[in-house]
Structures are given as structure tokens and as C-alpha cells.
Amino acid sequence: MIFGRRCPICLSYGPSPCVDCIGSMQAPRGLVVPDGCTDMVALVSYSGNGRELVRALKYRGHRDATAWIALNLQRLLEVSRPAVCTWIPASSTSRRRNGFDHAAILARRLAKEMRIPARKLLKRTDKGEQVGRSASLRGANVAFATRSKVDRRVVLVDDVITTGASFRSAARVLRGAGATDVYGVVVAATPKR
């Protein structure tokens, strides 16, 4: 039997996410642009149903919601002639556990909405995940290298921004490889305490 799409939050059949769950998500507050980024946008706060949306995509493979996410992120972006969309690559531990790189899926869908190419420009050189680490350990842990020369305006995608360490590190590497602007894009921003 074939079933239609389901809301990744409440699991009701229909739009992904459903209208009720979209209405209950909070807007991000206090979003800080990480050093090295030209701008930063977030769709929702990483709390309540915003958190559940990210967790459903990241850990339960609910990819239907990427269409809604990409469409709404594209509406938030104010980028003049972006050239390429890329993503902060998941750790090898995360890719093995989940079977996919959720940020790559988001970036490819956003690139499709923006009508620009998606390319894997970064590779991880650190060991391990950021989840559960303190702010000081996040900054010390994350490291990237570029896979090729970058001479464009880059849209850089990830699922969540907490301290900004991943974006600072990735933006530094992309700019070092020739990027003129790096626009950070996330589904959710962790609320500041």
C-alpha cells in the first residue's frame, strides 16, 4: 500500500510539515552572524516543533520537509547573484549512523530552488561530532579543508547553528580558497540563554 506525505512532526498525512505544526514553530531570535560570514539566516528557532523538524530530518530521514524548508530559506536569503551552494559536511560518525548527510540534502534542495549548482566544496579534517560539546570544545574541535578553488559567492548550508564554530571555520577556509562572500543558511538557530 502506498501512503502520501506525512508531517515530520505530528506524523499526520498531508503537507510536510503540516499547517498546524508550521504555525507553532517560533522565529529565531538573536541570531549572530559568525565571523567570516557575510550574512546568516535561520528559518526557525531550535526549540519546540522547530527542534522536532530538524531531528526528524536528521535522525529519522523525513526528507519530504526539505521542499518546504528550501522554499522558505530561499525567501529569506538576500543574496545578489550567488554562484554556488555548498554545505558543512556531516562527521563520518554521523554519516555512518544516519546513512546520509542531511546538510547535503538540504543544500541540494536549496540550490534547486535558487537555480544554482550545489557542489561539495568542503571536507572535514576533524575527528568527531559537535553535538553535545561545550562552546569552547566546539571551537577547538571543528576543522575543514577545501576540495577545490573557490572564486564565487557561496551559500553555506547546515541544519542548526549553536555557537557558530562550524560556520566560522568553514567561512575562513572558503575565503582562503577565494570565496568573495559566504552566506550562512540554517534551518534552525539554538536560542541564546
Instruction: Answer yes or no: is pLDDT of 191 > 50.
Output: yes
* Domains, the chain, ordered by start: 26-189 (3.40.50.2020)
For the stretch 31-50, pLDDT in tens is 999 999 999 999 999 999 99
Grid coordinates given for 1: 500500500
Instruction: Answer yes or no: is pLDDT of 63 > 90.
Output: no
Top pLDDT among 84 and 152 is at: 84
Arithmetic mean of pLDDT, 127-145: 60
Grid coordinates given for 169: 571555520
For the stretch 73-120, pLDDT in tens is 999 988 777 889 999 998 877 767 767 788 999 999 999 999 999 999
CA atoms within 13 A on the CB side of 191: 11
Arithmetic mean of pLDDT, 116-133: 77
Mean of all residue pLDDT scores within the chain: 87
Q: Quick one: pLDDT band at residue 140, thresholds 50, 70, 90?
A: low
Q: What's the pLDDT score for residue 1?
A: 41
Which residues make Cβ contacts (< 8 Å) with residue 183, sequence separation at least 6?
A: 37, 38, 39, 40, 41, 77, 79, 82, 153, 154, 155, 156
Report the percentage of the chain scoring pLDDT > 90: 64
CA atoms within 13 A on the CB side of 2: 1
Q: Is 38 helix (H, G, I), strand (E, B) or coil?
A: coil
- Decide if 25 contacts 74 (C-beta within 8 A): no
